[in-house]
Amino acid sequence: MSKTEHTMIDDAALEAFFVAARSEAPAPSDALMARIMADAEAEARARETSTVVARPVRPVRPGLIAAVIGALGGWPAVAGMVTATVAGAWFGFAAPDEVNSLAGGLLNIDSAATATMYQLEDIVPGGTGLAAILEEGA
Amino acid sequence: MDMAFDALTDASDEALLVAYGNGDREAAALLTARLSPRVMGFAARMLGGDRHEAEDVTQEAMLRLWKIAPEWRQGEAKVTTWLYRVTSNLCTDRLRKKRAVDIDTIPEPADDAPGAAAGMIEADRARALQAALDALPERQRIAVTLRHLEDRTNPEIAEVLEISVEAVESLTARGKRALAALLSHRREELGYVED
């Protein structure tokens, strides 16, 4: 340190400079904050897109059954087919009214829903062809 | 993980960072508002008051925070400590590229305007302090800035600099003595009057 004629300032005096500096702290501009937020968005988006990765291929099980299932598209597809088949059989057997309506009233001929939606003649094919000729004669 | 906004405003830095790591953009906005002024203030002190350089460093430090968010391990370090360390390293890298200031040379006062004993304005004192800070060796500058301008504790500063608390106290003491010496040359100009 160079010698000086001035007396050294003490802690309290130094503190006055610190106080002044704190009140004059350089603040980030709005533009800077916007750039920082843009970076945050870019990083988040990059992470989100990179997590969508291709599923690894299911290893083929040995054996004939496995080969057949593989040909049908794997267990999930087979499970879906089984479900659809069972459901179809069930709907045909005991269609709930809602399903019956959705199916145009054709699933369960005897149901009330069907009766309100159709006259018997609508369901029984007879509007064209031989039936039409026969009707004319009636 | 989506937090209600009022829960967000009270959340710790760490909780916000983890939320952002899981994709919560509002958490990032809050962290930006809270932390970028701290980083900017510290960087500006380190870089001679150069706003442009300080903004570059601030953006880079926050970018590194965004990148590390998904890997952040809770309870290990404070987010601010981590950020100050990154900022400190970025600043010293930049400073090393410029010529080092000779610490034995007392800098000429940057401002020769008569300081009028009548009322010192804060801006003059702030400028004088910055000029004096610029003359300090980097590690003293870091220690004094974090302690007296950023109001950090000695243990936290020790983590930032990766040294012991005793070493921090020593750096701070030497830094303050150097600042006092530098500023005492300008006492009268700066309107400091002894009673």
Both tokens of B167, joined, read: 């070493």
A121 burial level (CB within 10 Å; 0-12, 13-18, 19+)? exposed
Residue B69: the pLDDT is 97
Helices (H) and strands (E) in chain A, counts: 8, 0
pLDDT digits (tens, 9 = 90+) for B95-125: 988 765 544 444 554 444 444 433 457 888 8
Q: Nearest by CB to A33, from B36, B67, B149: name it.
A: B36
Arithmetic mean of pLDDT, B62-69: 98
Tokens 């958490």 appear where? B27
The answer to whether the predicted template modeling score (pTM) of the entire model surpasses 0.90 is: no
Distances (CA, A) of B112 to A99, B109, B115, B181, B186: 92, 7, 8, 18, 10
| Cβ–Cβ below 8 Å for B176 and A14 | yes
Q: Which residues of chain A have a CB within 8 Å of the CB of B58?
A: 28, 32, 36
- C-alpha distances (whole Å) from B191 to each of A3, A55, B107, B126, B176 are 21, 72, 19, 13, 20
Residue B160 has pLDDT above 80, yes or no: yes
Tens-binned pLDDT, residue by residue, of chain A (138 aa): 444 444 577 888 899 999 999 998 899 999 999 999 999 999 999 999 887 655 566 555 556 666 666 666 666 666 666 666 666 665 665 555 655 656 666 666 566 655 565 555 555 555 555 555 555 554
User: ipTM of this model?
Assistant: 0.82
State the smallest CA–CA distance between residue A41 and chain B in angstroms: 7
Side chain identity at A60, as an amino acid letter? V
Q: Which one of A24, A32, A36, A43 makes the best mutation probe of the B interface by having the most chain B beta carbons within 10 Å?
A: A36
- Chain A CA closest to residue B124: A20
d(C-alpha B61, C-alpha B138), whole Å: 18
Of A14, A24, A43, the CB nearest to B66: A43
Identity of the residue in B41, B55, B183 whose CB atom sits nearest the CB atom of A9: B183
Facing residue for A36 by CB, picked from B62, B126, B180: B62
| Chain B residues inside the 8 Å CB shell of A6 | 184-185, 187-188
C-beta of residue B104 within 8 angstroms of C-beta of residue B179: no
Instruction: Determine the Cα–Cα distance for residues B61 and A109; give it in Å rounded to an integer.
Output: 73
Summarize pLDDT for B33-46 with one digit per residue, the tens: 999 999 999 999 99
Task: Look up residue B153 and give its two tokens.
Answer: 């504790």
A111-120, B34-43, B142-151, B153-162, range with the lowest pLDDT: A111-120
Q: Which are the contacts of A116, defined by CB distance < 8 A and separation ≥ 6?
A: none
